Amino acid sequence: MVDADDVRRVALSLPHVVEIDSEGFDFRVANRGFVWSYPERLPGKPRVIRTDIAVLYVGDEAEKQALLLGEPGIFFTNPGYDGFPLVMVRLSEVTDARLRELVTDAWRMRAPEDIAAEVSDP
């Protein structure tokens, strides 16, 4: 089980990462977001920033669907994210090692090639 502090620790351990000031967490590389707090919007209620859920860049629709179908207890989405290569991750359901893998993969997909080359594959 991990939490927002673990997301912050993992994200900031990667090269050229900037944390954007927000109510939760929001990390970018080369001005491209790769992991941030889930801004939950329920009908008739104000938006709530959920730091127990991370929005994660996954690269493409195939990867998104594989995660959603393969591990529905960990990953989910909502209609506002249709057409975007993003999934939501229930942080309470992942280990530190899995978080590191997910965040590093998201970072690698968003980082320019020369920056991504600074981190070797796990």
Question: What CATH code is carried by the domain that includes residue 68?
Answer: 3.90.1150.30
Give the pLDDT confidence of 71-112 residue by residue, as tens digits: 999 999 999 899 999 999 999 999 999 999 999 999 999 999
Residue 9 phi/psi, 5-degree rounding, is -60, -45
Residue from 40, 13, 33 nearest 99 by CA: 13
What is the dihedral sign for C-alpha 22, 53, 84, 82?
negative
At residue 73, the pLDDT reads 96
Q: Is residue 121 part of a domain?
A: no
Q: How far apart are CA 86 and CA 106, in angstroms?
A: 10
Q: Is residue 122 part of a domain?
A: no
CA separation (Å) from 86 to 100, 118, 119, 120?
17, 24, 22, 23
Q: Is residue 87 part of a domain?
A: yes
Give the pLDDT confidence of 48-63 residue by residue, as tens digits: 999 999 999 999 999 9
Q: Is residue 29 part of a domain?
A: yes
Radius of gyration of the chain (CA): 14
Mean pLDDT in residue range 10-37: 97
Q: Is residue 96 part of a domain?
A: yes
Rounded to two decimals, the pTM is 0.93
Q: Which domain holds residue 112?
A: 4-116
